[in-house]
Amino acid sequence: MDASINMSKAKIPILPVTHRVIYPGTALRITLSNLPEFARGKKLTMFGIVTYKNASTKELYDYGTLVGVVSEMPVTSGNNYSANDAIISSFFNTPLSSFPRNEWQITVMGVERFKIKSLRNEGGVYMAKIEVVKDKDSDQNIEELTDKLKKAGAEYASKTGFSRMMTQQRVHRIQEEKDLAYLGFYIAGFLDLSIPEKQMLLENFSLIDRSKKILEHCKVSEDSNEEALSKEVSQKIQEKFYQKSSRNRNPKFMNSGDEEEVQKLQEKIEALEMPDSSKKYVLNELNRVKSMRPINAEYNVIMNYLETVSSLPWNLSSQDNLDLEKAQTQLDIDHSGLEKVKKRIIEYLAVRGLKGDMKGSIICFVGPPGVGKTSLGQSIADSLGRKFHRISLGGVRDEAEIRGHRKTYVGAMPGVFIQGLKKCGTNNPVILLDEIDKVGKDMIRGDTASALLEVLDPSQNHTFTDHYLAVPFDLSNVLFIATANTVSSIPSPLLDRMDTIHLSGYSTYEKLSIAKNFLLPRQINENGLKPEHISVPDEVLNKVITEYTLEAGVRQLERTLGSLCRHVAVKYSKSLKANSEFKTEVIDEPKVDEVLGAPKYDLEIQERVQTPGVALGLAWTPYGGKVMLVETSKSPGTGKLRITGQLGDVMKESVLTALSWIQAHFPALCPNASSSSAEGLEGIDLHIHFPAAAVPKDGPSAGVTITTALVGLLGDVKTRSDTCMTGEISLKGNVMPVGGIKEKVLGAHRTGIKRVLLPFRNQKDTRDIPEYVKKEVQFVFVKKVEEVLREALEESNIFRKMEQIPHL
């Protein structure tokens, strides 16, 4: 190997082995449960391999071989053993069934022989001082001996190889080797000798004498019954493997444990109530297993497949609880408000009781985060008495996650639906498809949303075929419930298969009720307190809701209440340590400011409408309705228009529509300007800005707000600070209806707005708004833009001129 190595009297790690002697110039592949640090990541690092003289007493021979690490790699996990694994396991006297698989495999090459001068166990690793020993008579004429040894070694190798390929490799190596020492050691490596005999060759430092002994061993083997020897060697290696294999496909090699396992699987499969065609396919797979040998790579694949199939609930259903009053009570306990959703669930139960089944009912809850979409699915399962399983689809990009992998692939498994049914143990659970609007699409791994079509299509899901199962499974008994923040990102074919129910954000009153009855008690319990340790009055809860958690849902509200509870938990913990009495901690408003800091939300948005050119609009977002500012400014110029705030194309078109309507009625709106509308606007540069510029905005519903802000700017008129508006405008000055009215009104109510301008044709949409919100918010329904201006702008001379605006 490397003649420059100077290991004389060096100190090296020692790896003890059994049933094997490694020689210089020969390679060995070893699988170790823990790759020693000295061999990890350091190619050609030297260490010693020494054979046990007595494995039971851990006694080592005095001589060993210095080896270099050629390569190392982690071994893939699994139970598919190769013949080489069996041979290696026999070297280390390790049963194949317990042979380590998740570890390291190293390849080493013998370099030099050495003698152990001293040996110590240091932290579980043998460390030895060694002295490298070389042959004494290597200078003699050895060409004739080399030729004889090559011929004898090649003949022996050709008759004893385990396979044709192995024989060819051995003969080729023998013919190519020129160094007599390496040639002899290579042939000695595959001679049928005992460990003591092989060790004696290792410790023989006379090149001539050792080579003659190896030649003699080859001839002795030839003179014996060569055919019997070849058969014996081959059979010996095969038996080592087959006897130590954990499974054998051929029944005549199967042990009792294997036969019992296959028999149990057959009984389970025959007892399954599944379609005849599917059972026939599965039984054919079972028959294939019975005829396989352990070395067949398909054995474990098919066995895992059969175990999966036999554990599925093909005809096992849970009994539905169809008591409508009990279900209504359960829903009321779990959720406050959401009356429309509860009504839809009760309708489902009623139809289920009358019809006997509810195939094809797929519900999709759409609403902002934190309003209880996911927990509603759990409540429905509880009210029905069904098992519940949640599947998160957010960011899933691989189609195989839905439809599974074909069982022939490495690491194959069923899709998430079959896995869910296996986990639930029934074929009619409630499966929640969480965040269905966020499924990914990957050109390489398929379109996940399209893969869901078969699952959610009532006309197809009774024969849903998972790639792993390869046989249809009936999903029509499953109650699928999906959740989404918005339907805009759900593909139309998928959305068409679902019954969409919109959940709006909570009002302040609903949040107060939820905080008192659900959130605060839960946070008290989670923070190690008892109800008598903390008291939070309603007015303080209302302050937390309005000034610290301006959101559609209640997640941030619960986190904020948790902060208050943790503050009390610290005081309670200190009192326990001091053995002092702990009195109920009353959280008042100063205490809230101390714990939570300054309020995060105030009425600043209304205060900003104190100058002309600013108006309050209403916007719908996937996270609930919110109040949106529109700010405008003017300066002398040439009629340029600038729009900022990261707007979409539709909103930019709304700006141009509003500007066109204003230009057509400029003299009446701005009586102090030039009599020519064109001249008046051409001498002005306008800038329209939508604050929160980092947030994308789009949609036509800001049309009336943009018009109001521009008219106020050009006419030097302020907008009422208690009023906000929404609606699309046309070139003729008509106010068109828009969507998301309930969410927008609730957003205005959370902000403290008391007056809302809505399109006249949206009057019907206010029926879904809670009555207590209607009592606090005044609705003004408008048909024309001039009506919006009269209601939104403060008193000014502009109104005396507005009668001049023709009603087109």
CA distance 651 to 643: 10
**For residues 489 and 438, is the Cβ–Cβ distance under 8 A?**
yes
**For residues 27 and 108, is the Cβ–Cβ distance under 8 A?**
yes
Quote the crossing angle between the two packed helices 207-223 and 195-202, to the nearest 10°: 150
* DSSP structure string for 516-532: IIIIHHHHHHHTT--GG
CA distance 329 to 334: 9
Neighbour-count burial of 802, counting CB atoms closer than 10 A to its CB (0-12 exposed, 13-18 middle, 19+ buried): middle
Take residue 455 and report the two structure tokens written for it: 């699952």
| C-alpha 3, offset from chain centre | 54
What residue has token string 């190293």? 106
**For residues 699 and 601, is the Cβ–Cβ distance under 8 A?**
no
Of the candidates 12, 9, 3, 103, the one whose C-alpha atom is nearest the C-alpha of residue 50 is: 12
Strands 614-621 and 624-636: antiparallel
**For residues 200 and 61, is the Cβ–Cβ distance under 8 A?**
no
Quote the crossing angle between the two packed helices 589-596 and 538-548, to the nearest 10°: 40
**Measured CA distances, 357 to 351, 479, 705 (Å):** 8, 11, 50
Instruction: Report the residue count for the chain.
Output: 808
* DSSP structure string for 545-571: HHHH---SSSHHHHHHHHHHHHHHHHH
Contacts of residue 39, Cβ cutoff 8 Å, sequence gap at least 6:
13, 45, 47, 69, 72, 106
Q: Which residues are catalytic?
A: 701, 744
